[in-house]
Amino acid sequence: MNNVSVITMFFLSGFNKTISHRFVLFFLSLLCYCIICLVNVSLIVIIILDSNLHEPMYILLCVFCINALYGTAGFFPKILWDLLSDVHLISYYGCLIQTQVIYSSACSELSILALMAYDRYVAICQPLKYHSIMSKQRVIRFACLLWSTTFCIMAVNVFLTFRLKLCSPYISRLFCVNSSIVQLACFPAQTIVNGIFANITIIIYALHGVFIVWSYMYIIQTCVKSIENRAKFMQTCVPHLVSLHTFVLIMLLDSTSARFGSKFLPQVLQNFIAIEFLVIPPVMNPLMYGFKLTKIQKKVFIVILKTKLHMTKTNIFKCGRAIRVSFYFNIIPSYKSDTRPEE
């Protein structure tokens, strides 16, 4: 009990095996974070500025990118700082905040994927009712409701962790994870409520997965009967399915590694598995949707073309100005020397 009152900082021992390569890892992490910010912000700006993209599917894609930026902001700045530091510490409250941000972002991603699946179900299976069911205002309200619900569910998990009495300040990961903090509890009997609510949370988001599967059963059944729907499926549903499968696979690897990895896997491999869901989906999803969705392809092409034309016009203007200046300095002196009066 005496140790409980003095635990105001946590030591992140997951960095112990990366000390010799920390500058290389810092550069790679910084590069990865810059790419994540660039691709997600670019897609958000394109969707916001182009009124033709103010449709439910693209609004959800915009929310998807915002959620990716939110989640990675809870991880990358801290790990970049730790890679340049000799001591890897995080405050008790900072650890709880990081847990809240990362967990709520991961669960929100599954909620957004479920809402995307419903959007595709209505678009393909009930096209005549699509605009009445999935209006822009309703989609935004749905997205806000799902995100706020997820945030509150994760906040309850974090609060249940906050009330625990902890006996050790060492977390064997690169960042704070709720399960790792619960394992530090002095009295295992106090963690029963944490386990119950964690299982309820898992069931809630497993039902999201069931809903997605149910939606695609009807979507595939409808697409088999129509060539037009098959084309729509290939264009809009394939990126969604790839995102879903990637997310599920990564989360299964992470949960398996968290339960059994400490016994069989080296620390470096555990670290890589732990950060996959904060690296791969935020980079892959914007690029995949950008290359696959025709309207975004056209908009990106137009932006690139306008940028090149602007640069070309600027270069021509600079060259023309340089030629005029050169002409002025070459002609005017000779003109003055010709008109100078004789002595």
Written in H, E and C, the secondary structure of 269-332 is HHHHHHHHHHCHHHHHHHHHHHHHCHHHHHHHHHHHHHHHHHHHHHHHHHHHHHHHHHHHHHHH
The answer to whether residue 298 is domain-embedded is no
Enter the tokens of residue 272: 């890589």
The answer to whether residue 327 is domain-embedded is no
CATH code of the domain containing 94:
1.20.1070.10
Q: What is the DSSP string of 233-282?
A: IIIIIHHHHHHHHHHHHHHHHHHHIIIIIHHHS-HHHHHHHHHGGGTHHH
The answer to whether residue 262 is domain-embedded is yes
Sheet strand arrangement including 9-12? 89-91, 9-12, 170-171
- CB-CB contact of 211 with 117 (8 Å): yes
The answer to whether residue 233 is domain-embedded is yes
In this structure, the chain runs to a length of 343
The answer to whether residue 73 is domain-embedded is yes
Measured over the CA atoms of residue 222, residue 224, residue 228 and residue 229, the dihedral's sign is: positive
Cβ contacts of residue 334 below 8 Å, gap of 6+?
Answer: none
The answer to whether residue 80 is domain-embedded is yes
Residues of the chain with pLDDT under 50: 1-5, 335-336, 339-343
What's the total number of domains in the chain? Answer: 1
**Percentage helix, strand, coil, to 5, in the chain?**
85, 5, 15
pLDDT digits (tens, 9 = 90+) for 131-177: 888 888 889 999 999 999 999 999 999 999 998 888 888 888 888 88
| Per-residue pLDDT at 324 | 56
Question: Residue 84: helix, strand or coil by DSSP?
Answer: coil
Enter the tokens of residue 40: 């997600």
Q: Give residue 58's domain range.
A: 9-284
| Per-residue pLDDT at 149 | 93
The answer to whether residue 3 is domain-embedded is no
Cβ contacts of residue 173 below 8 Å, gap of 6+?
Answer: 12, 13, 14, 180, 270, 271, 274
The answer to whether residue 144 is domain-embedded is yes
